[in-house]
Structure 1
Amino acid sequence: MITTQSEFRAALMDPQQPPPEGLRNPDGAQATKRFDVYRNNVAVSLTDALEAAFPVVHKLVGTDFFRAMAGVYLRAHPPKSPLMMFYGDDMPDFLAGFGPAQSVPYLPDVARLELALRHSYHAADATPVSPDALGQLPPDTLPHVTFTFAPSVRIIPSTFPLRDIWWSNTHGGDIAQGAQAALITRPEFDPTVDALTPRQAAVAQALMSSEPLGHALRHGGAGFDLGPLLGLLLARNAITSLKT
């Protein structure tokens, strides 16, 4: 009997399934023990990959919980690519619907942040604009300026103090009260995480969606001060071009 790839994959990811009928030992007997060892090794390797990809999630829930959760996850979401550096793309949505994790309500957002850090790290390089680029434009054109951002830039909004939760679990320190978005940039070799207020995040997301500056500022509400946000984006080499 010939075993198809789909049969092999299904059995590999489900410990309740018997080994595929087509897998045989040299003596012709079904390769049950050998397949069980291989299946276990695959599960351990994928779990290790998830631990490496989501270290703060791992820290927040503990090793036993994480490994049990990973066992459920990897069977529902087997790898789509041989590149393990991107394994776990479905983890935030999985956590949002995983009942035992609901006692840590910010866990999906932490996973989104950690996933974004990986994608930022592997994003293409880009040349930033000079810090005074906006100041060189005629004042009457400023409301119509659109921004282009480096491929490494990510914004993770949250109703929790997301950046501080991540920072406290990676570097230590206190956690602020209230909502806080995470701005991920890569000013040099490694990604950096900064805190944004909800209003700053809304304006930055509008700019990343190519809304002109004048329109984007409306998302910040009355009295919004663009200076701190713009200064941070320029300091982090997040902006690569300005168009009028």
Structure 2
Amino acid sequence: MSSEIQDRFAAALIDRALPPPQGTSAWSGPRPERRSAVYRNDVASGLTGALATRFPAARRIVGGDFFTAMALAYAERHPPRSPLLLFYGDDFADFVATFEPARDLAYLPDVIRLEAARGHAYHAADAVPLEPGPIKPWTGETALVVRPRLLVDVLRLEPAEAAFLQALAGGATLGAAAEDASALRGFDLAAALVRLLQSGAFTAIRKDNTNGH
């Protein structure tokens, strides 16, 4: 049998309107229509069965008869491209979205897409997932919210810097605030002043006249 006849024979198995191609015959006689109908029914049953296996939720939603009719309509327009039917019907959802009898079931295509995704996940190659990473213990932090030039900014302050700024905001002198902050680990007066000046946290310098300074 030539490849052309094979292609026409395969097309006739899907499309019921096509007769068996010229050049084919049955063992029981020259007219293969009856045998061809048997093959056609076997193919239709196999394809609709494959779709029913892949999309059981959709079948339960619409019922067995409706699903079979819908699957047959799909199979006539979308014959399988591979002898493996594992993923046959990957575009079934797109077909159902335009299938007029299912027009009122707007959610049905998405149900089919979800089932298709589940199938692909089930048959995907095994891979070891990453283990959850260690989570550092929660600790409180101090944030400085400023708006130096019409733009709001949020800066994270080290504990010593926060204590230093809080003391200044409470009216302490620069020396007293620096002395209090020095009790905390890692305080660097010069670095703190640079960061706070750059942030725009300061708007004025007030002299303390009580001690003659």
For Structure 1 versus Structure 2, the TM-score category normalised by the shorter chain is 0.5 to 0.7
Match of 2:35 in 1: 34
**Larger strand percent:** 1
Q: Which has the higher contact order (CA 8 A, sep 6+)?
A: 1
On the 8 A contact 1:19/1:31 being kept in 2, the answer is yes
Unaligned runs of 5+ in 1: 137-244
SS of the residue aligned with 2:21? coil
**1:30 Cα deviation after fit:** 2.3
Residues in 1 aligned to 2:29 and 2:128: alpha-carbon distance in whole angstroms: 61
Contact 1:7/1:20 (8 A) holds in 2: yes
Taking the aligned partners of 1:48 and 1:67, their CA distance within structure 2 comes to 8
Runs of 4 or more, structure 1, over 6 Å off, are none
State the TM-score, normalized to the length of structure 2.
0.59
Partner residue in 2 for 1:153? none
For residues 198-228 of structure 1, what are the alpha-carbon distances to aligned partners after superposition, in whole Å with 9 as ceiling and x for unaligned? xxxxxxxxxxxxxxxxxxxxxxxxxxxxxxx
Alignment of 1:212-227 (within 5 A): none
Distance 1:110 1:30, change over 3 A: same
Using the alignment, how far apart are the partners of 2:112 and 2:6 within structure 1? 31
In structure 1, the partner of 2:63 is: 62
Separation in 1, partners of 2:91, 2:62: 18
1:187 alignment partner in structure 2? none
1:99 CA drift (Å): 1.0
Please list, as runs of the form range in 1=range in 2, the aligned pairs for 1:73-112 lying within 5 A after superposition. Answer: 73-112=74-113
Contact 1:21 1:30 in 2 (8 A): no
User: In the TM superposition, what whole-angstrom CA distance separates every residue of 1:92-139 from its partner, at most 9, and x where no partner exists?
Assistant: 100111111111100000000000011000111112222125x47xxx
Letter of the structure 2 residue corresponding to residue 47 of structure 1:
T
- How far, CA to CA, are the matches of 2:28 and 2:58 in structure 1? 46
Alpha-carbon distance in 1 for matches of 2:61, 2:48: 16
Seen in structure 2, the aligned counterparts of structure 1 residues 125 and 31 have a Cα distance that, compared at 3 Å, is same
Stretches of structure 2 that go unaligned for 5 or more consecutive residues are 137-213
Name the SS for the 2:86 alignment partner: helix
1:196-207 matched pairs, under 5 angstroms:
none
- Partners of 1:13 and 1:78 within 8 A in 2: yes
Q: What corresponds to 2:72 in structure 1? A: 71
Measure how far apart 1:28 and its partner are.
5.5
Q: Distance in 1 between matches of 2:28 and 2:109?
A: 49
Aligned to 1:8: 9
Q: Distance in 2 between matches of 1:131 and 1:52?
A: 35
Alignment length, in residue pairs?
135
Report how far residue 27 of structure 1 moved.
Answer: 6.2
**Identical aligned pairs, as a percentage?**
51
Query: SS of 2:105's equivalent?
Result: coil
Q: Highest CA radius of gyration, 1 or 2? A: 2
- Aligned residues: CA RMSD: 1.7
Corresponding residue for residue 128 of structure 1: 129
Question: Secondary structure of the equivalent of 1:4?
Answer: helix
Alignment TM-score, normalising by the size of structure 1: 0.52
Local SS of the residue matching 1:84? coil
Q: Please name the residue that 1:17 is paired with.
A: 18
Q: Partners in 2 of 1:27 and 1:100 — Cα distance?
A: 41
Q: Distance in 1 between the 2:121 and 2:27 partners?
A: 48
Shift in Å, 1:5? 2.4
